[in-house]
Amino acid sequence: MSNLPETNRLRDSQLWKELVLGNEQALGSLMRIHYRSLLNYGQKFIRDEEFLKDCIQELFIEIWNRKLTLSCPDNVKAYLFSSLRRKIYREVHKFPLSYQSESVDAEDSDVYVEFSPEWWLIEEESLAERTQKMGYLLNLLPKRQREVIYLKYYQELSREEIAEVMTISPQTVSNLIQMAFTNLRDRMKTVTISLFVFLTLFLS
């Protein structure tokens, strides 16, 4: 793999140092760099977008207000992700009622990643079909496996970063990824077999 993630990490650390010195444009830059990823991550477990945007804004304001007492995180991106995760969890439990009335996910206030591929916009028919199937299979995975897969392949976080975000050990991250793929492979087969059986029945 290239060392691009390393470059990004150094850039983030540099910006963090500048913001500690009171440079608010550095805070703005960090926000510009990571806002979209944070928003996408948050959307995985919060449907109320305005509430989510407020959470992200508060997150950055809090960093600014506490800049002199916070130590520079090893990995700013992982720090932002885990802070947002904790923050949403806290906020949701602070106002359980208002949250439940507004959220579609009311029955499940935990972190809950759901994949929603826009397969119907894919021009190639067979690929669109496959993508739809994969989206379905991904959503059958247990919650934690799904989140690990999302953080690794969508957000492109490293094993160590994922461990920090989800507060588990790097080894557990590897295990979860492995389990997810074992699951996916088994299910891919099952889907193919059931389709095959169906066709055989149909043709006979």
Q: Which residues bind other proteins (CB under 8 A)?
A: 1-2, 24-25, 27-28, 31-32, 35-36, 39-40, 47, 53, 57, 60-61, 64-65, 104, 115-123, 126-127, 130-135, 138, 149-150, 152-154, 156, 177, 181, 184, 188
**Closer residue to other proteins (CB): 124 or 203:** 124
**Closer residue to other proteins (CB): 93 or 199:** 199
Residue 100 neighbours by CB distance under 10 Å? 13
Cβ of residue 106: shortest distance to other proteins, in angstroms?
12
- SS3 (DSSP) at 93: helix
Give the Cα separation of 151 and 105 in Å (integer).
Answer: 20
For the record, the structure tokens of 175 come out as 């295990």
Cβ of residue 148: shortest distance to other proteins, in angstroms?
12
Residue 111 CB partners (closer than 8 Å, separation 6+)? 44, 45, 85, 89, 143, 147
- SS3 (DSSP) at 169: coil
Cβ of residue 143: shortest distance to other proteins, in angstroms?
15
Residue 48 neighbours by CB distance under 10 Å? 18
Cβ of residue 204: shortest distance to other proteins, in angstroms?
26
Phi, psi angles (nearest 5°) of residue 46: -130, 125
Cβ of residue 36: shortest distance to other proteins, in angstroms?
4
**Closer residue to other proteins (CB): 93 or 185:** 185
Secondary structure letter of residue 153 according to DSSP: I
**Closer residue to other proteins (CB): 89 or 154:** 154
Rg of the Cα atoms in the chain: 20
Amino acid at 36: R
Cβ of residue 35: shortest distance to other proteins, in angstroms?
6
